[in-house]
Structure 1
Amino acid sequence: MRRCPGGRSWRRAAWRLRCFRFVKIDCYSIETNIQIFAVCASVARRCGYPNRPDRGGGPMNFSARGLSAMFSVLRQRNFAIYTSGSTVSLIGTWMQRVTVGWLCWELTGSGAWLGLLAFADMFPSVIVGPLAGAAADRWDRLRIARISQMLGLLQATFLFVALVAGFLTIELLFAVVLFHGVVEAFNQPSRLALIHSLVGRERLGAAVAINSIAFNLARFVGPAIAGVLIATVGVAWAFALNAMTFGAFALALAAVSLVRDDALAPRSGFLREIVDGFAYSVRHPGIGPILMLMIAAGVGGRAVVELLPGFAADVFGAGPIGLAALTSSVAVGAILGGFVVGVRQSYTGLTRTVIVSVFGIALAVAAFTVTDTLYLGAAALAVAGFFMVTTGVGSQTLVQLAVDGSMRGRVLSLHGLIFRGGPALGALLMGVSSEFAGLRLPVAVGAAILAICAFFALTRVNAIADALENEPRN
């Protein structure tokens, strides 16, 4: 869209000034994020991470030996190839997510459209997820992942062509985002279940944590790259680069072979298998409550990430660079959260860690809504990102440990459904409400409701922990 203008010298000078301002602001955001990382480390220690078994934090080891033990899982060839390709693809995905949000705001200036696009991106998990979970328990999970990457490549290429050709409208953008949301929804259960198939139960916690660190590293790098591209060569090239990252992951998946896998579920019809998986999750004394808490966290807390374009433009007045800084700040805290969970030496106390972390999300999001200073908002989001990851990685690890192997795909499809559908629903509700009440009030109300849910879960923490931490499965 925007190109470096030619012609008159004053235009060239204005463009150079704009680029200088971008570099200056971006360096400031890097310095800010370094300071935020220290804040998150302090928060981790105050909340009982690490080395506070008395608080249910579980023993952890942040020494070089502890970190080496965590990353030793990357010595397994298949997991290393998978993680490398996945990280590249995730960087592209976050580039596109930020670019789509900014493009939507430029086209409409509407919080409702931001919410609708987030809804289209993530809510298909609610419809497609259960079917995809049954498919993951029946079919070749690796093949499903490969096909999904090729479809992702096609949609990113289409966005690039449509934008360059000048026929991309907000309605067409919504349709493409919805298509990609359906593809990701079908892919997610297979992608999550592949981790167990690649490393087995013994290294599961470290593998899930590394996968989360890669996701949040991409959340940091992707928006930064998107900000550079939007400010220099234009929005379209962010879509083009994303298409290349999908291709890179497809090549990586072609080189992966599974070492171990769960037994396939007995075939009894897709509908029956979906119902069986849902019933199993609801009746399980640990999986059911933890999934309900994840719904509350997605709708009431994590939805704020989908509304950051509106906050960057209207609340902070910071433009695309401010959006990149806010999104990257979430990633800074999230990366530290991934390390905190990954170096655990035991799964004991992980349930309490997850529930306390949900409280942390609520408090950090509430703090974010009461400031109009970019620096303070970024700090609050970094703390929120830390707790989002300790919640997400911890809950996924607990579910993977407790679930029966023949139900893994279907139960993880519900986890993925909640992970994507919860923020989508929350962003839709908050985005529509923002048309009448502004962005801050709906987000603050969601944080308050989330805190209440976390308090209720904490009153049942021992029963939930007994079902999740003391019930080994295949």
Structure 2
Amino acid sequence: MSTPVGGDETQAPQSRFAGITAALRYPDIRTLFISTFANQFGQGTSHVIIGWLVLDMTGSALLVGAAFAVRSAPNLIVGLAAGPITDRYDRRILMKIAVIGLMLTALTLSGLVYFDVITISILLCGVFFLGAFQAMYMTARQAYVYDIVGANRAISGLALIGLAQRISQLIGALLAGTTILHIGGSGPFLAMAIGYLIGLTCIFMLVEVGDSAPDRQETIVENLINYFKALRSNRLLLSLMISTAGAEILGFSHAVILPILALQVLDVGPEGLGLLTASRFVGATVGIAGLAIAGDVKRPGALLLTTMFFFGISQIVLGYAQTFWVAVTLVAIVNIMATMSDVLHQSLLQLSVSNEQRGRAMGSWIIGIGTAPIGQSEVGLLAGATDSKTALLINGASLAILALIMAALLPKLRKL
């Protein structure tokens, strides 16, 4: 059984850190925290190295957006398949397969860059595989967290594991710029592979399936059929998938602008790009730590809509940043909102369905974030045709308006 060590989780919280400490009482959550910290170093590193390599090789803002779009593109396909597969098979096995794929892809890219045989088409192919394996990993991991901690601690558990991910991404982004400057482009990919190996070792140490894991496992075909039935009948599930897509297209796509800000607007080079990217993860860490400390949120639906609104507003302000350190601060604020939106979407999606359907709920989240190529291509095209300020203004305003429309049209979500 998935039993917390050191106390009864049903007791009333004794401090504002009770949500974190309750989740940490589960041994497998502690192991998963360490695994996530190790293997998601690669995510922060890849945000820097991919943007830098593409811009260095091509000088094209549009291709920077295309590279991020290629990385997100697998989510649509993987999300549709990963949900039923995650509901069918042991989440731990799926995490192992995904991290092995990430490690081998990073090693391959490191070798290609080191021997100077990398081309833009090969790089984009590698980026695609990184995105596909990451989508598979995230679907299985987020469902596994819920399996271990249960519904009452879902937000705290997801936020805690997300905290490990964001801190690791922060370190990866900070080190990536320096590594590129002093070692070259192969170094960050090699560091990614080492991190994935450490994370994989920890996944092999996970013991429990989880008390909240579904007892009945449908066939993949049954799961897919029931998934589409759920989308037709469960308006909340469909609405949350749409809002996930909206946040991804209009909000998270701001990451495409960072290489352009660093290298073409602010002229701060790869180390500056590393710091700008790192500030994303500083903000993400603050946002996710706040949710972890808050524990059980009384009205997560209303908080989600509020967060999405200010996610958009903060992007507009970022577009008007005139100096590097102002931009760093504003990127952090944008990503406080972004991460809170992300965790709340994941939690609400799993809470909107029955226990045996939680894998497909996370598949819906993956499908939602799989719309990222639309936003990444659009913001890259906008920035290329106009400038980064206009691109952030249009997307930020659209996201804020979307939050207001959803609040007006979806009272069930607003009151949830």
TM-score (ref. length: structure 1) = 0.81
Cα distance in 2 for partners of 1:193, 1:264 equals 15
Cα distance in 2 for partners of 1:108, 1:282 equals 44
For residue 72 of structure 1, report the CA deviation from its aligned partner: 3.4
2:188 counterpart letter in structure 1: A
Corresponding residue for residue 388 of structure 2 = 439
Corresponding residue for residue 151 of structure 1 = 101
Deviations 1:292-324 (A, max 9, x none): 222111111110113311221111111112212
Cα–Cα, structure 1 residues 171 and 360, in superposed 2: closer, same or farther, change >3 Å?
same
2:125 counterpart letter in structure 1: A
Corresponding residue for residue 262 of structure 1 = 214
Q: Choose from 240, 256, 263 the match for 1:306.
A: 256
**1:241 aligned onto 2:191:** yes
User: Runs of 5+ in structure 1 lacking a partner?
Assistant: 1-60, 470-474
**1:450 aligned onto 2:399:** yes
Cα–Cα, structure 1 residues 212 and 281, in superposed 2: closer, same or farther, change >3 Å?
farther
For residues 200-349 of structure 1, what are the structure 2 equivalents within 5 Å?
A: 200-257=150-207, 258-260=209-211, 261-267=213-219, 270=221, 273-349=223-299
2:243 counterpart letter in structure 1: L
Contact 1:371–1:377 (8 Å) recurs in 2: yes
Corresponding residue for residue 428 of structure 1 = 377
Question: After TM superposition, which residue ranges in structure 1, 4 or more long, deviate above 3 angstroms?
Answer: none
Report SS of the residue matched to 2:294: coil
1:204 counterpart letter in structure 2: A
Compare 454-463 and 441-450 and name the one that shifted more. 454-463
Cα distance in 2 for partners of 1:103, 1:213 equals 28
Deviations 1:379-436 (A, max 9, x none): 22111111111211122112222221121111211112223x2333211111123332
Cα distance in 2 for partners of 1:133, 1:170 equals 32
Contact 1:123–1:425 (8 Å) recurs in 2: no
Contact 2:19–2:292 (8 Å) recurs in 1: no
Cα distance in 2 for partners of 1:425, 1:263 equals 38
Corresponding residue for residue 381 of structure 1 = 331
Report SS of the residue matched to 1:266: coil
Report SS of the residue matched to 2:17: helix
Cα distance in 1 for partners of 2:189, 2:130 equals 13
Report SS of the residue matched to 1:203: helix
For the pair shown, which has the larger CA radius of gyration, 1 or 2?
Answer: 1
Report SS of the residue matched to 1:65: coil
Corresponding residue for residue 353 of structure 1 = 303
Deviations 1:39-72 (A, max 9, x none): xxxxxxxxxxxxxxxxxxxxxx9xx932254233
Cα distance in 2 for partners of 1:436, 1:69 equals 47
Corresponding residue for residue 147 of structure 2 = 197
Contact 2:19–2:294 (8 Å) recurs in 1: no
Cα distance in 2 for partners of 1:71, 1:334 equals 20
Deviations 1:161-184 (A, max 9, x none): 111111111111011111222222
For residue 460 of structure 1, report the CA deviation from its aligned partner: 4.0
Corresponding residue for residue 6 of structure 1 = none
For residue 335 of structure 1, report the CA deviation from its aligned partner: 1.5
For residues 165-184 of structure 1, what are the structure 2 equivalents within 5 Å?
A: 165-184=115-134
Contact 1:219–1:327 (8 Å) recurs in 2: no
Contact 1:265–1:407 (8 Å) recurs in 2: no
Cα distance in 2 for partners of 1:277, 1:373 equals 48
Corresponding residue for residue 346 of structure 2 = 396
Q: Choose from 50, 65, 68 the match for 1:100.
A: 50
1:425 counterpart letter in structure 2: I
Compare 294-303 and 185-194 and name the one that shifted more. 185-194
Cα–Cα, structure 1 residues 265 and 307, in superposed 2: closer, same or farther, change >3 Å?
farther
2:259 counterpart letter in structure 1: P
Report SS of the residue matched to 1:459: helix
Deviations 1:252-276 (A, max 9, x none): 1111022321134422x53x53243
Corresponding residue for residue 84 of structure 2 = 134
Report SS of the residue matched to 1:182: helix
For residue 204 of structure 1, report the CA deviation from its aligned partner: 1.6
Cα distance in 2 for partners of 1:105, 1:216 equals 25
Deviations 1:56-104 (A, max 9, x none): xxxxx9xx93225423322311111111011111112211221111111
User: What is the aligned-residue RMSD (CA, Å)?
Assistant: 2.0
TM-score (ref. length: structure 2) = 0.92
1:410 counterpart letter in structure 2: R
Corresponding residue for residue 41 of structure 2 = 91
Compare 408-417 and 277-286 and name the one that shifted more. 277-286
For residue 245 of structure 1, report the CA deviation from its aligned partner: 0.8
Percent identical among aligned pairs is 21
**1:369 aligned onto 2:326:** no
2:371 counterpart letter in structure 1: G
Contact 1:129–1:185 (8 Å) recurs in 2: yes
Cα–Cα, structure 1 residues 305 and 277, in superposed 2: closer, same or farther, change >3 Å?
same
For residues 6-17 of structure 1, what are the structure 2 equivalents within 5 Å?
A: none
User: Runs of 5+ in structure 2 lacking a partner?
Assistant: 1-12
**1:459 aligned onto 2:408:** yes
